[in-house]
Amino acid sequence: MQRAAISGVRTGLMVDKDTLEQTALRLITALPVGKTLAPADIAQEIAGKASDQWGPLMQPLRRVAVRLAKEGRLVIYRKGRPADPDDFKGVYRLGPVRMD
C-alpha cells in the first residue's frame, strides 16, 4: 500500500496520513475524562509550534478526523456537542469515544 505524504509548504516537512492518525489517537486516548483536544494541538505535536510548520497539516488532519469519526474511533465536537462528521463547520475539537 502506498502512503500519501502531506508536505508543509515552507518547511519541507513530510507527514503521512498514518502519522496524523496515530498522533491524534495517541493524544486523544491520553486525555482526562471529559476533556477534548484542539486539532492544532495534534498538528503542533507533529510539526512544532510555528504556524507555518503546523498550519499546512490542518486540512489533512481534518480529513483524517472525519474518517476516524465515521469509523467510531473518535468524536468531533462543535460548541461542546458531538457533531455530524459529514456536516460541521468552523472551530471543532476532538475527543475519545465515550462508553457511558
pTM of the model: 0.84
pLDDT of residue 100: 65
pLDDT of residue 2: 34
pLDDT of residue 6: 53
pLDDT of residue 4: 44
Across the chain, which has 100 residues, the per-10-residue mean pLDDT values are: 43 79 97 96 95 94 98 97 96 90
CA distance 20 to 60: 8
CA distance 78 to 82: 6
The residue extents of the domains of the chain are 5-95
Per-residue DSSP letter, 57: G
Coarse DSSP helix, strand, coil percentages of the chain, rounded to the nearest 5 percent: 40, 15, 40
pLDDT of residue 5: 52
> At the topology level of CATH, where does 5-95 sit?
Arc Repressor Mutant, subunit A (1.10.10)
State residue 56 phi and psi, 5-degree precision.
-65, -15
Number of residues that make up the chain = 100
Per-residue DSSP letter, 36: -
State residue 94 phi and psi, 5-degree precision.
-125, 145
